[in-house]
């Protein structure tokens, strides 16, 4: 697979999940024109505080593919592996906490990441005129879907 910063970012979140940061979340989508993929990275609001919608008013890292290889003010190179990007994310979310809960989401995300690699396509959870009832689309316009993440209730932890 050719170097792809959006995939590297998703891999970094998976790396942090395996390191015990199971409350870390992503919310990926397309901009209004459908030309740029973007993602919000934040801590599960049920762990860190109230959710204010897709804006995630708490600590949140935002990336858009319109920025090219720039992530968090740094140009990411091919030698910057998922661990390096994970360290950047952890530094950008200083209140991110280790948690032993959230295992359903972590398992769900691992499956999503496997599909990202299988299809070499990033997930899309929202866009203008997007039917969310089918789940997250794997690759914009692909018509391949992955189920939505599990709910955040205590039963899902």
Tell me the average pLDDT of the chain.
Answer: 87
Per the structure, the complete domain to which residue 115 belongs is given by 5-156
pLDDT at 112: 98
The residues of the chain scoring below 50 in pLDDT are: 1, 49-56, 152-157
Secondary structure (3-state) at 6: helix
Confidence at residue 61, expressed as pLDDT on a 0 to 100 scale: 97
**Which pair of structure tokens corresponds to residue 144?**
């391949």
User: Would you give the distance in Å from CA 63 to the centre of its chain?
Assistant: 10
Rounded CA-CA distance 137/148 in Å is 10
Distance CA 123, CA 113 (A): 9
User: In total, how many domains does the chain have?
Assistant: 1
Helix axes 82-92, 5-18, angle to 10 degrees: 70
Which among 84, 85, 82 is positioned nearest to 63, based on CA atoms?
A: 85
Q: What is the pLDDT of residue 49?
A: 47
pTM (predicted TM-score): 0.87
String of DSSP letters for 13-68: HHHHHHTTBTTEEEEEEE-TTSS-EEEEEEE-HHHHS---STT--SSEEEEEGGGT
The dihedrals phi and psi of 116, each to the nearest 5 degrees, come to -55, -45
Residue 102 in contact with residue 22, Cβ under 8 Å? yes
């Amino acid at each position: 697979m050719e170097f792809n910063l959006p995939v590297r970012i998703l891999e970094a979140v998976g790396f942090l999940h395996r390191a015990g940061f199971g409350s870390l979340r992503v919310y990926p989508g397309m901009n209004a024109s459908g030309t740029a993929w973007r993602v919000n990275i934040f801590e599960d609001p049920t762990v860190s505080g109230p959710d204010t919608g897709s804006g995630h008013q708490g600590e949140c890292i935002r990336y858009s593919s319109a920025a090219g290889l720039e992530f968090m003010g740094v140009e990411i190179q091919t030698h910057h592996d998922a661990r390096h990007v994970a360290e950047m994310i952890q530094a950008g979310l200083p209140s991110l906490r280790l948690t032993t809960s959230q295992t359903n989401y972590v398992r769900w995300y691992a499956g999503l990441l496997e599909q990202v690699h299988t299809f070499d396509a990033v997930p899309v959870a929202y866009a203008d005129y997007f039917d969310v009832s089918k789940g997250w689309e794997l690759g914009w316009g692909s018509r391949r879907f992955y189920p939505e993440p599990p709910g955040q209730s205590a039963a899902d932890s």
